[in-house]
Structure 1
């Protein structure tokens, strides 16, 4: 094991402890609840609860069996929860054995910001788009208050009312909005053309959560689309369109354009919601560096774990 990798492994351990008390927006915070919105990058069981369990090899590395995640191990959201001393987030749609006292996860694999005009069986995209996730959150918040006031055994399984205003609201979504265009045979320029509408709908949901009392937001940009195997398999590129690490440059350029506009949207939201703390996280740079330097860091750890620790290691949170 190289000295660099040993140092990085050491940082993985240290970062888990440090993140238990994180500084966001200039203030030290220890969250009692997390509410997550997104797609497969942060789905802890939503799509599996609705349409059937994600089959093996999903879950085999850490959980040793399928566990609702479209991953062989844990996701970034799992490590975020762990860093604050909270249990992993149960999916809102998973009613069996779930404890929502520390928050809930509304993400489902295949989700998009904009509702798709296709069924899941037609396109593979989840019908639970971001606007639906927001409505589920609103309903969850209203019903949690009702159940806690009514009393009974279920009240201890739901968040206290004050947790909603003091919670961390995490978002990791948008990747599928880009691939949706390519599945419809859109050109890259046509995909870029509808990104402002996607981000307009995204901003409306952020404002909606703010209207429900949310004040602290953690927003991931999208990763290097051109490095995803399913994109490279479905849409072959010429050698001239590939970068030195085997990623498709046109798809990555679209992802970078999306991220640029997302960051602009976040900056505008900060102006419009001055009492909110909104953190923009450059996941693209982290993932691309890990892909392009896989041998340097060693692909022996769960990818999500590396991303969370590396976000701290390289200080790319802005």
Structure 2
């Protein structure tokens, strides 16, 4: 996504395996959407007692990254029919989680005002990580700092926090920073992953310590299946080496969540985006109306451009598929609304636990 130009200009200097591993991180700058039908996700009556607080990257950012491509066409063409800061053609994960809780999506922190705080706040910022990334957006610790400041200002009461839910999107961008920007040794990636999980554990403890007892954490999806990874194979197959690394990360995260639930008495549930992505991709590949499920709907003309790019005359430097509602991926890194709709339907059962 926002790393596309920098990555493409340096990729030739890096061995193929590091090129693939580098993109592991991009996953979490990723945002998401849903190709939902009005009959399933139409107008409904919302209640105000429950609030959602969101921390993470572009998979859950609904508008905090104000200068990002997500505020330019063609983002948002499916929902809300104009760019809204979501990294997709439509709704993202946050929108689905809010819908499952019977509330509206919480306002982005960057766009907040006193009349839009009743459903919570979204602190997530596309391109950020658990640690700092070169985009210099607020990492997860800083996002939690902002949350604590609102509590100190009595924006939210103790009862508000006690009855709220937190959504956390973890750490893909950190891997990219470590491997690609910092140029660290690939043999140390597992040690770095352990330190990443350790910091994420501390972040989850902080969120719980302010009074939020119910937390939802997304596992990493199969990064090896992202279009930016599958481009060399003409979107024919996923990279299994990358996917194996993702499974190691997810194993550590699952163990951490299990330990935290025992220690703190919190209710932390995980959403298995790894298995659900693979399952939906496999299902869509069998459908005759999806020619190549790994190919994104929005395709840049070359590696130095990204979805939404235009030249000095305003001419588009990308092409769009005819039917975004049939695609799984929207751009090189993010699912389409249709893709997230299918994935959400597979992971919604754990949400019943909260």
TM range, smaller chain? 0.7 to 0.9
User: 2:302 aligns to what?
Assistant: none
**Residue of structure 2 aligned with 1:42, choices 60, 78, 83:** 60
Q: Secondary structure at the match of 1:302?
A: helix
Q: Is the 8 A contact 2:125 2:137 kept in 1?
A: no
**Residue of structure 1 aligned with 2:218, choices 211, 216, 220:** 220
User: 1:150 aligns to what?
Assistant: none
Relative contact order higher in (CA < 8 Å, ≥ 6 apart):
2
Note the 1:1-318 alignment, pairs <5 A.
32-48=50-66, 54-95=71-112, 99-116=116-133, 118=134, 120=135, 126-143=136-153, 145=154, 159-184=156-181, 185-186=183-184, 188-232=186-230, 246-274=237-265, 276-296=266-286, 300=326, 302-312=338-348
Superposed CA deviations along residues 88-133 of structure 1, whole A, max 9, x for unmatched, are: 22111224686011100010100111123x3x2xxxxx42111111
Cα distance in 1 for partners of 2:193, 2:106 equals: 30
User: 2:309 aligns to what?
Assistant: none
Cα RMSD of the aligned pairs, angstroms, is: 3.3
Structure 2 CA distance for partners of 1:294 and 1:46, relative to 1, 3 Å: same
Cα distance in 2 for partners of 1:187, 1:292 equals: 34
Q: Is the 8 A contact 2:132 2:174 kept in 1?
A: no
Superposed CA deviations along residues 192-240 of structure 1, whole A, max 9, x for unmatched, are: 220111111111111111111110011111111111122445xx6xx7x
Structure 1's unaligned 5+ residue stretches are 1-10, 21-29, 121-125, 146-157
Structure 2 CA distance for partners of 1:90 and 1:224, relative to 1, 3 Å: same
Cα distance in 1 for partners of 2:169, 2:100 equals: 18
Q: Secondary structure at the match of 1:289?
A: helix
Cα distance in 2 for partners of 1:95, 1:263 equals: 33
Structure 2 CA distance for partners of 1:90 and 1:252, relative to 1, 3 Å: same
User: Comparing both structures, which one devotes a greater share of its residues to helix?
Assistant: 1
Which sits farther off after the overlay, 82-91 or 52-61? 52-61
Superposed CA deviations along residues 227-282 of structure 1, whole A, max 9, x for unmatched, are: 1122445xx6xx7xx9x9511111111111110111011111112212x1111121
